[in-house]
Structure formats: structure tokens, C-alpha cells
Amino acid sequence: MGRAALAGFVVATAADLGSLLAGWETGHQVFKPLLMPLLIGYALSRRAPRALTGALLFGWGGDLALLFDADPAFLLGMGSFALGHVCYLVLFGRRPVSPLAGAAYALALVTTVCLLWGDLPPELRIPVAGYSLLLTAMAWRSGALGWRAGLGGALFLLSDTLIATGVADWPQLPRPDFWVMATYAAAQYLLADGALAGDRAYRREVLPV
């Protein structure tokens, strides 16, 4: 069942990205909502911790909200993703992470918020800044579970930064939604896979067999 769910996630991701490249909005509306449920199925088949399941569920809620092009939906989606980041932070626990990486992430946060601030709609500035702080903390702390989760956290930060530059009406790459979804799907998979690997290692340390 786990392999089938993972295969379904890969197929749905490819179909969603292909739809975005082709400019087929209906395909995106169909395939995007399938991603997180399939990844959740894969994670549950491997006895995922509750915090990981919660993070992916809130990610699904954010995915659904962002299918609608309106400020209330954007704020709802951002709130759902924020709760997902809280779940990830709970999942990472107090495991040590690199202070140097923390300093680099802090610099990236301050620089990005300062550059975006004047170009964001006034009503979104404070919510985006608060969300960015939480997202950056998650990205930094994700390295506690190894390089896969750490890369996933960095890609999540990149994906949401691309969204923020679009909201600020900055120049975009061709097919910007493709790059947002490509980095997002990879981020969620790497975070989940890194968390599952880290949980198995922890179980072996605490409950040796």
C-alpha cells in the first residue's frame, strides 16, 4: 500500500507539473489536491509520527485554499501552512542544528522581508512577515533530521519565496506556478522521507532489538 501511495504521489506530481507547463488549469485543479493525501498514505504506511501527519494535513489545507485566487483564500492558505510548520517544529524536537546555518537563514529572512515589504499589499505585510519568520525557523530546524529533511526545508522556503515575489508583482520566471509546485512537492516529500528515516533511527536508539 505504501509503495502504491508513493507511486501515486509521483504520478500525480508529474501530471500536475505537466498541466502547469501546458497551461491546462483544469488539470492543475484536479491533480494538485491529490498530492498530500497520497503522501499522507505513504507516510501512514510507514507508521508516521502524528506531527508529520498533521504537517501534511495542514499542507493539504493550504493547497486547497490556494486554488482560489482571492486575498481571503491566500490568508487562509498561509494560516494552514503556518500550522503545518508548527507541526514540523514539534516533530524536529530539540535535536541540535547548525548555528551557522541559523545565522544564514536569519540573514536571508531579514533581507527578503526588507526587499519585499514595500511591494506587498499593505494588508499582507504583517501576515507575510510573521509567516516568513515561522517558515524560516522550520527550514533551519529541518536540518536536525539529516540532509534530506534539511533540503526539504530549504526547498519549502524557496517555493514560498517564489509565491511572495509573485504577490509583490516582481518579475517572474516563465511558468512561475510550475517552479512553485516543483519545489513544493519535492520539499514535502523530502521532509516526510527525512522525518520517517529519523524516526526509525530514533526508535533503534531508544528501543534496540
Neighbour tally for 207: CB within 10 Å: 7
CA dist., res. 75 & res. 128, Å (int): 9
Number of H helices, E strands in the chain: 9, 0
Q: Among 93-97, 146-150, 165-169, 197-201, where is mean pLDDT lowest?
A: 197-201
> pLDDT of 100-141, one tens digit each?
999 999 999 999 999 999 999 999 999 999 999 999 999 999
**C-alpha 125, offset from chain centre:** 20
* Cell numbers representing residue 166 in the block: 509573485
For the whole model, what pTM was predicted? Answer: 0.93
| 8 A C-beta contact, residue 98 and residue 146 | no
> 46, 157, 56, 45: which is closest to 101 by C-alpha?
157
Per-residue DSSP letters for 82-150?
HHHHHHHHHHHTT----HHHHHHHHHHHHHHHHHHHTTS-HHHHHHHHHHHHHHHHHHHHGGGG-HHHH
Query: Is 135 in contact with 156 (CB distance < 8 Å)?
Result: yes
User: Cα-flanking dihedrals φ and ψ of residue 175, to 5°?
Assistant: 50, 60
**Residue range 2-61, pLDDT digits in tens:** 899 999 999 999 999 999 999 999 999 999 999 999 999 999 999 999 999 999 999 999
pLDDT for 207 equals 42
Mean pLDDT of the residues in the chain: 94
Nearest to 32 by CA among 53, 61, 72: 61
